[in-house]
Amino acid sequence: MQYRSAVLSALFASLPLLTVAEPVVIFDSGRTIRLPNQPHTQHIQTPVTTNFDVQIDPLPVKTPSLSPGKVMSRTIDRPYLDRPLFIVGADTLSMRWLRLHQAQLKQLKAMGLAVNVETLAQLQQLQNAAGGLAIHPLAGDAIAAQLALAHYPVLITASRIEQ
């Protein structure tokens, strides 16, 4: 009996030593409220720079796997493509195609990619020919490979590729 009470006394005496560890902060939203009797932890905050003005020049854009030319119409199954997309370049075929299909592209609210464009002036010419539709300069190698495309201009919807 004395042995049991000695062991219990030793356990209760060492209990405060076991609970001295500092908490590990995994996530702090900044709205954390300290609980009473919680040990003080030091918060280190890194400074945030306010200068986010990063200049990235997206031009020129070149897509070696795509060139102006004839595209055969075909069906595709891309249900995740919720907005039609058209691909053009800074060439006479694309300019004519944009002027000819401008109304249809606007009706579809299609978004454009300029895959071969050298200068800002060429990009603006494409945007003017498209009647103000958004055309973004972007290399199209990945899209060309995924959709087995070799030529543009082209309109891509969730169910069809056509020129």
CB 113 within 8 A of CB 146: no
Separation between Cα atoms, residue 44 and residue 42, nearest integer Å = 6
SS3 86: strand
Q: What global pTM score does this model have?
A: 0.66
Q: Name the token pair of 40.
A: 């003080």
- Tell me how crowded residue 76 is: count the other CB atoms within 10 A of its CB: 15
The residue among 110, 99, 116, 112 whose CA lies nearest residue 151 is: 116
Low-confidence ranges of the chain (pLDDT < 70): 1-23, 25, 27-28, 32-56
Q: Name the token pair of 17.
A: 């030593």
Domain boundaries, the chain: 67-162
